[in-house]
Amino acid sequence: MDSGGSSLPSSVAADARKRRVCYFYEPEVGNYYYGQGHPMKPHRIRMTHALLLNYGLLQKMQVFRPNPARERDLCRFHADDYVAFLRSVTPETQQEQMRALKRFNVCEDCPVFDGLFSFCQTYAGASVGAAVKLNHGHHDIAINWSGGLHHAKKCEASGFCYVNDIVLAILELLKRHERVLYVDIDIHHGDGVEEAFYTTDRVMTVSFHKFGDYFPGTGDIRDIGFGKGKYYAVNVPLDDGIDDESYQSLFKPIMAKVMEVFQPGAVVLQCGADSLSGDRLGCFNLSVKGHAECVKYMRSFNVPLLLLGGGGYTIRNVARCWCYETGVALGVEVEDRVPEHEYYGYFGPDYTLHVAPSNMENKNSRKLLDDIRIKALENLSKLQHMPSVQFQERPPDMEFDEEDEDQECGDERDDHDEEMDFPKLSEDFKCKSLPENKQNIKTDMDIDGSEVKNHQEAFQRLNPKVEPVSSEVPAYTKDMVAGLTTVNEPSDVKPHCETFPLFSKS
Ligand SMILES: [Zn+2]
């Protein structure tokens, strides 16, 4: 397949140029459990990480352990009462809060489980932390495979998502960048992110998804944004069985046009892996390479890039995909043969990274694809003739204010992303002292005593970085920051929606 590449005159670097990549991973994330039979399995993040470790990819990037997002960080998008509910609800006490469960849609798709709130804090903290890294300009690409929970709404859980880490990360990027592009290749429509930015011209959302009798029911090609946001939402509705070639016949021309007319300062790419062939809940027929082609293409524009996870329910394929895409981010072609490691058994009988797509029918006819491409490009061409967005002064840089932390933050963890070093596999995994060339910043962080297990023993959690995850920007829903028109309140400007279950236990 054509490896693509930007033809933009503004693209300064050749695609082959190395990118500075950072990666966020919380060793505990794989232990969260949605419940028996639930298709969302955070364990897939740990499997992905194990592949990265055993392929030797961790040494090629800076690895950070995320700081949990604090309640007030989450409230920059979410409603206070919803966040307070997520913090307080437990499997034991949920029966006493039936009304709230219903109100916030915490139900079968989005169950209450042990550690729910800390899970939300973890994946959201990682996405926001990754956005902060990009804002600082020391990294070209930041990765958080535990993020990408695109269905969560301001005051409602949806589609296995509770907190919308993507919206929070975009809000962070907007402090530095006038325009942020969001691209979503999960099989489901990126409804929560689209809705949040539906009426602003500072964020363009582009979603490629299965449409028609499918969760969440939104994402019609005619849903294009509203008010100032008109033409800043792009929806690409697809049908069952789409293959690599059909997918790229839309993805590349549409994204090339988007980059040309919107010229974002940063790009967020949600890499939901339920669009892969053979997904437990999905019905597309993409190969890992076809999926990763989207990453390769967006990387080629050489704009700060945040890579997030998302859906993905055949977990061995999710790990394959995100491992391969990490390689793409690094500019490394990962070997097909999976190295032996603790989750090796998942990858049998072939033990390869790539899996052949199936022979399922591609219901996306050439005519249908042409019509969609033409319509999407036509909408985008309307932007070309609009006056460009006025440059707005950005909010001040985030300052780490310890006093304020003490007053407002009751969390035990502090606000610093913790860098982890990963020794080569052949090396002894015993802790070493801090490298001399790295500054040892004294903090009260718990980096010494905590127990690490299994492959996590490979981590040497050293060299904490003092970097705030967020600044004192008022919640968007109350005070608008730097000219961003609005983050949407639930209202009648929302796109049309029919209701379909994402998952029902039968
Ligand atoms: Zn999905």
CATH of the domain at 287: 3.40.800.20
Tell me the CA distances in angstroms from 297 to 57, 239, 322, 334, 405, one per residue in order. Answer: 20, 22, 16, 17, 40
3-state secondary structure of 78: coil
Ligand 1 centroid to residue 313 C-alpha, Å: 9
Provide the pLDDT for residue 217: 98
Residue 450 lies in a domain: no
Residue 492 lies in a domain: no
Ligand 1 centroid to residue 213 C-alpha, Å: 14
Residue 112 lies in a domain: yes
186 annotated binding-site participant: yes
Ligand 1 centroid to residue 397 C-alpha, Å: 34
Quick one: tokens of 37? 């039979």
Ligand 1 centroid to residue 312 C-alpha, Å: 7
Give the C-alpha separation, 211 to 198, whole Å: 19
Residue 475 lies in a domain: no
Q: Is 63 left (phi over 0), alpha (psi -120 to 50) or beta?
A: beta
188 annotated binding-site participant: yes
Provide the pLDDT for residue 274: 98
pTM of the model: 0.81
Residue 344 lies in a domain: yes
Residue 398 lies in a domain: no
159 annotated binding-site participant: yes
First to last CA, the chain: 40
78 annotated binding-site participant: no
Residues of the chain with pLDDT under 50: 1-14, 389-394, 396-415, 422-486, 489-492, 505-506
Residue 306 lies in a domain: yes
Which residue segment(s) compose the domain that 369 sits in? 21-384
313 annotated binding-site participant: yes
DSSP state of 97: G
The answer to whether 160 touches 312, Cβ cutoff 8 Å, is no
Q: How many domains does the chain have?
A: 1
Ligand 1 centroid to residue 215 C-alpha, Å: 9
Please list all protein residues whose beta carbon sits less than 5 angstroms from ligand 1, which is an ion.
Answer: 186, 188, 272, 274, 311
Count helices and strands (H / E) in the chain. Answer: 12, 10
Give the C-alpha separation, 295 to 268, whole Å: 11
Residue 159 lies in a domain: yes
- Residues with a catalytic annotation lie at 151
Ligand 1 centroid to residue 188 C-alpha, Å: 4
109 annotated binding-site participant: yes
Ligand 1 centroid to residue 461 C-alpha, Å: 33
